[in-house]
Amino acid sequence: MTGRTGRHFLHIPGPSPVPERVLRAMDRQIIDHRGPEFARLGREVLEGIRGVFRTQGPVIIYPGSGTGAWEAAIVNTLSPGDRVLMFETGHFATLWRQMAARFGIEVEFVPGDWRRGVDPAAVEARLSEDRARSIKAVMVVHNETSTGVTSRIAAIRRAIDAAGHPALFLVDTISSLASVDVRHDEWGIDVTVSGSQKGLMLPPGLGFTAISEKARAAARHNTMPRSYWDWEEMLKANASGTFPYTPATNLLWGLREAIAMLREEGLDAVFARHARLAAATRAAVEAWGLEVLCQNPDEHSPVLTAVMMPEGRGADAFRAVALERFDLSLGAGLSKLSDKIFRIGHLGETNDLTLMGALSGVEMALAASRVPHRSGGVLAAMASLGAGLDG
């Protein structure tokens, strides 16, 4: 093994690398979570996080993972027996569906091939058919971390509106928030679910739900038993910058710093950077003669690129070479894509040269693994990045 000196290249689609500034912000002594210094911190992050979700309304911050925030979205707004509309866009959509089922939700799961996102026309068609308005919620994964496909949330919103359907709109932005544009208010999302360890560039350990007035009203009447994830006590405590149970203070300090960094760069610049890096990655993949999993050019993920292995070659052996020889972590294929794809993360604390290091590692690992490919992906990526700069 030659690669284990120097910096690890973490190019899984999250957790993403944590900036030194964020690590440093968290590296400090704990304080009284009921004292005045904490209250200032609490108010600051509760206010600041709204800007990231592009909402005027409340955002709940949980100690927990993004999976917990999924659960929060479900148990606050849905009851056993409720019907919801979901879409098989990949592994995480499937997991969210399983979770809903565990809570007794009846999920209508529109099948998919894991190579494209949610079709807005299908949403409109299905909701229009639902004359009885029996569908309580439409639940969509914005960026499928397992496939590198980003569904078009604004278009889906328009589809719901076109159908004139009152369903709640619940969107998982765990791997898109702060990397891809998310507009909670403008897009009429009722619950936007997210986590700390992707675009927010924090370690894992915080879950988020941004909630609309409509979602909050639904929660008030919802009888699903719940406590930890319940919104109302959270909102009551949050009014004074505190939390109903012990918050993950050090992660909140990190969150404060991450929000400051996003503001300094500017959210739109952040999104443009992700798009540039993603385009360069696809250019490399194409130059290698490999295939990107996502088949809809309008849905390529700015966060990660899933690459299909040539027939007969295992992705996991290739990834092991990348890790062993070049200290490069790539994402694995999940469930039905297991061993069939590898995923290149290009999100968060990433820039042109970090990406070029990673793509060089992929190209060298392809060669070292004798995976059939053309060389020169890195040149194509550089050309793409250069064009991006001049454009």
Q: Binding of a second copy at residue 237 (CB under 8 A)?
A: no
Q: Binding of a second copy at residue 65 (CB under 8 A)?
A: yes
Q: Binding of a second copy at residue 214 (CB under 8 A)?
A: no
User: Interior CA angle at 263 toward 298 and 388, to 5°?
Assistant: 40
Of these, 54, 71, 137, 309, which contacts a second copy (CB under 8 A)? 71
Q: Which of residues 332-361 bind a second copy (CB under 8 A)?
A: 332, 349-354, 356-358, 360-361
Cβ closest to a second copy, residue 250 vs residue 296: 250
Q: How far apart are CA 361 and CA 377, in angstroms?
A: 11
Do residues 287 and 376 make contact, with C-beta atoms less than 8 angstroms apart?
A: yes
Q: Binding of a second copy at residue 12 (CB under 8 A)?
A: yes
Q: Binding of a second copy at residue 28 (CB under 8 A)?
A: yes
Build a one-symbol-per-residue string for 277-316: x at contacts with a second copy by CB under 8 A, - elsewhere: ----------------------------------------
Q: Binding of a second copy at residue 23 (CB under 8 A)?
A: yes
Of these, 166, 310, 372, 386, which contacts a second copy (CB under 8 A)? 386
Q: Which of residues 79-98 bind a second copy (CB under 8 A)?
A: 80, 98
Cβ closest to a second copy, residue 135 vs residue 280: 280
Q: How far apart are CA 297 and CA 247, in angstroms?
A: 41
Q: How far apart are CA 374 and CA 159, in angstroms?
A: 42
Q: Binding of a second copy at residue 43 (CB under 8 A)?
A: no
Cβ closest to a second copy, residue 4 vs residue 133: 4
Beta strands, E only, the chain = 9-11, 59-63, 83-87, 106-110, 135-141, 143-144, 149-150, 168-172, 191-195, 206-211, 291-292, 304-308, 328-332, 341-345
Q: Binding of a second copy at residue 15 (CB under 8 A)?
A: yes
- For residue 314, count CB atoms less than 10 angstroms from its CB and return exposed for 0-12, middle for 13-18, buried for 19 or more: middle
Q: Binding of a second copy at residue 20 (CB under 8 A)?
A: yes
Of these, 61, 308, 344, 385, which contacts a second copy (CB under 8 A)? 385
Do residues 85 and 137 make contact, with C-beta atoms less than 8 angstroms apart?
A: yes
15: preceding bond cis by omega (within 30 degrees) = yes
How many Å is the maximal CA-CA distance in the chain? 63
| In the complex, least distance from residue 123 CB atom to a second copy, rounded to whole angstroms | 25
Q: Binding of a second copy at residue 16 (CB under 8 A)?
A: yes
Do residues 335 and 91 make contact, with C-beta atoms less than 8 angstroms apart?
A: yes
Cβ closest to a second copy, residue 164 vs residue 386: 386
| In the complex, least distance from residue 105 CB atom to a second copy, rounded to whole angstroms | 9
Q: How far apart are CA 209 and CA 80, in angstroms?
A: 21
Build a one-symbol-per-residue string for 159-198: x at contacts with a second copy by CB under 8 A, - elsewhere: ------------------------------------x-x-
From residue 258, give the alpha-carbon distance in Å to each of 35, 196, 276, 307.
23, 10, 21, 30
- For β-strands 291-292 and 304-308, DSSP reports them as antiparallel
- Per the document, the length of the chain is 391
From residue 11, give the alpha-carbon distance in Å to each of 24, 343, 345, 357, 369.
22, 8, 4, 10, 19
Q: Binding of a second copy at residue 31 (CB under 8 A)?
A: yes
Amino acid in position 77: T
Cβ closest to a second copy, residue 55 vs residue 76: 76
| In the complex, least distance from residue 323 CB atom to a second copy, rounded to whole angstroms | 7
Q: How many chain residues bind a second copy (CB under 8 A)?
A: 97
Which range in 124-132, 185-193, 234-242, 326-334 contacts a second copy by CB under 8 A? 326-334
| In the complex, least distance from residue 311 CB atom to a second copy, rounded to whole angstroms | 24
| In the complex, least distance from residue 29 CB atom to a second copy, rounded to whole angstroms | 6
Helix axes 377-390, 267-288, angle to 10 degrees: 150
Q: Binding of a second copy at residue 117 (CB under 8 A)?
A: no
Tell me which H or E stretch contains 10: strand 9-11
Q: Which of residues 142-161 bind a second copy (CB under 8 A)?
A: none
Q: How far apart are CA 8 and CA 326, in angstroms?
A: 8
